Amino acid sequence: MVKSLTTADRFSPADIPSSGLAARIGSSAIRDLLALTERPDVLSLAGGMPSPASFPVDAIALAAATILDQEGPDALQYAPTEGFAPLRSWIAARHPVTADPDQVLITNGSQQALELAARVASGPGDAVVMSDPGYIGAIQAFRSAGVELVGIPGDRGGLRVDLLADRLAGGLRPRLVYVVANFDNPTGATLTAERRHELARLADRYGFVILDDDPYGQLRWAGEAPAPLATLTDRVVTLGTTSKVLSPGLRVGWAVGPRTLVRELAVVKQSADLHTSSLSQRIAHEVLTRPGFLEHHLDRLRDSYKRHGRALAEALRCHLGGRLTFEEPDGGMFIWGRLREGGDASVLLPMAVERGVAFVPGAAFQVGAGPDHRSWLRLSFATAEAADLGEAARRLARAVASMEADVLELGPG
């Protein structure tokens, strides 16, 4: 007799084979957390999402209407993998060193550029270096490519290039060194000018490619930006994106680098998704090139993030005092703070959510087997309303006080 399947059997059979790739990549702790933070009673300092109030909705609506009116079906057709030519030219012209449009590949957000670079510039088993702690999306992309991921500690000056130099002298031969040189995720650190020069020198000497992922460079509101890595060596692939400047939902990012490598990235992209949305690329181009728009928009954005960053820093100092140490940022979206001796941010998180505030525990950004980041937390000041940041810090302070009281009660051991 044929056994009839129940609905549950049909939708969750136990024996569908898989490569195990998803398990090896691991689900992003941030993605898993986003579900939690969608609770209306939780003030979220967790996701690295830009402020929705900053999205230029009117400019995007006008651009979409203009494009569809003037170009109609052309804007909705399949298109070349490399990207929309006028957008590639605009990006090439803004690159800090002379670049041709054919050195630019438009990607589905910079995350795709990262994933393509991980697979094209390195292969399974090749060593790839990144700072530890590091961006979760990069850790996932590198794991997906099957590389041997080598975490090198970072500090307030970014990747410890001196430690990388030691490892290179000891025989390490990476194909790629990944950095977020401006306002790193999660630490907010900017790679110092000296370290940039040294990293470029090492790239030339040892022949690796520097993958310089730069979503936050334009969000600097104080201090001087050190020279971009691309001006120091030509062994650099620079990644950019409209996500933090216009809107992440457009999914328009890019890679700029040596011609031969960019051509290879394009071939692999073709097999992944044919091309980035024709309509999104045109919208991004139309908005970015509207006379006067970008300068004005960036000024407002920096101003707003500066207010947010300062408000959160001030509230943390006021409500947490010495219980959390951090450096006030000059840009970007994040404050990277450290709990006092014995504090564990993963233990703190459920206590914080219970009190209506969320963040990402440092352990989520662990790259390798180096020193752990359990006492650290990443706080994003970008998404929440500025007026809510004081209350968020107050709730966090209550959770920290409660965690410290628990530790005292349990005593050592």
Distance in Å, CB of 109 to ligand PMP, minimum: 3
Residue 177 backbone phi and psi in degrees, to 5: -125, 120
In this complex, which beta carbon is closest to ligand PMP, that of residue 251 or of residue 355?
251
Which three-class secondary structure string do you get for the chain? Answer: CCCCCCHHHHHCCCCCCCCCHHHHHCCCHHHHHHHHHCCCCCEECCCCCCCHHHCCHHHHHHHHHHHHHHHHHHHHCCCCCCCCHHHHHHHHHHCCCCCCHHHEEEECHHHHHHHHHHHHCCCCCCEEEEEECCCHHHHHHHHHHCCEEEEEEEECCEECHHHHHHHHHCCCCCCEEEECCCCCCCCCCCCCHHHHHHHHHHHHHHCCEEEEECCCHHHECCCCCCCCHHHCCCCEEEEEECCCCCCHHHCCEEEECCHHHHHHHHHHHHHHHCCCCHHHHHHHHHHHCCCCHHHHHHHHHHHHHHHHHHHHHHHHHHHHHHHEECCCCCECCEEEEEECCCCCHHHHHHHHHHCCEECEEHHHHCCCCCCCCCCEEEEECCCCCHHHHHHHHHHHHHHHHHHHHHHHHHCCC
109 binds ligand PMP (CB under 6 A): yes
- The CA-based angle 30-372-357, given to 5 degrees, is 40
- Asked if 51 interacts with ligand PMP (CB under 6 A), we say no
Site map (CB under 6 A) of ligand PMP, residues 118-137, x = contact: -----------------x-x
Binding span for ligand PMP by CB under 6 A among 104-112, 364-372, 389-397, 405-413: 104-112
User: Cα separation of 107 and 239, whole Å?
Assistant: 10
Decide if residue 111 touches ligand PMP (CB under 6 A): yes
In this complex, which beta carbon is closest to ligand PMP, that of residue 111 or of residue 190? 111
Q: Is 366 in the site for ligand PMP (CB under 6 A)?
A: no
Beta 324-325 vs 148-155: how paired, if at all? unpaired
| Of 88-96, 106-114, 267-275, 280-288: span binding ligand PMP (CB under 6 A) | 106-114
Closer Cβ to ligand PMP, 253 or 362, answer by number: 253
Closest separation in Å from C-beta 138 to ligand PMP: 7
Whole-angstrom Cα distance, residue 195 to residue 294?
Answer: 31
Measured between alpha carbons, how far is 86 from 134 in angstroms, rounded to an integer? 34
Stretch that binds ligand PMP, among 108-116, 254-262, 274-282, 398-406 (CB under 6 A): 108-116
Nearest approach in angstroms of CB 10 to ligand PMP is: 35
CB of 19 vs ligand PMP, minimal distance in Å: 24
**Residues near ligand PMP (CB under 6 A), total:** 14
Bridge partners for 335 per DSSP: 379
Binds ligand PMP (CB under 6 A): choice among 122, 243, 366, 375: 243
381 binds ligand PMP, rule: CB under 6 A: no
Residue of the chain from 46, 180, 279, 384 that contacts ligand PMP (CB under 6 A)? 180
Q: Is 253 in the site for ligand PMP (CB under 6 A)?
A: yes
By CB under 6 A, is residue 229 in contact with ligand PMP? no
Residue 257 contacts ligand PMP per CB under 6 A? no
248 binds ligand PMP (CB under 6 A): yes
Stretch that binds ligand PMP, among 105-113, 141-149, 161-169, 396-404 (CB under 6 A): 105-113
Q: Give 110 or 278: the residue with its C-beta nearer to ligand PMP.
A: 110
Contact with ligand PMP (CB under 6 A) among 51, 131, 185, 247? 185
Smallest separation (angstroms) from ligand PMP to the CB of 224: 21
**Smallest separation (angstroms) from ligand PMP to the CB of 333:** 8
Number of other CB atoms surrounding residue 248 within 10 Å = 19
Q: How far is the CB of 48 from ligand PMP (least distance, A)?
A: 4
- Decide if residue 247 touches ligand PMP (CB under 6 A): no
241 binds ligand PMP (CB under 6 A): yes
Count of residues making up the chain: 413
Q: Is the dihedral of CA 104, 106, 111, 114 positive or negative?
A: negative
Q: Is 48 in the site for ligand PMP (CB under 6 A)?
A: yes
Site map (CB under 6 A) of ligand PMP, residues 186-215, x = contact: ---------------------------x-x
What residues make contact with ligand PMP under the rule CB under 6 A?
48, 109-111, 135, 137, 180, 185, 213, 215, 241, 243, 248, 253
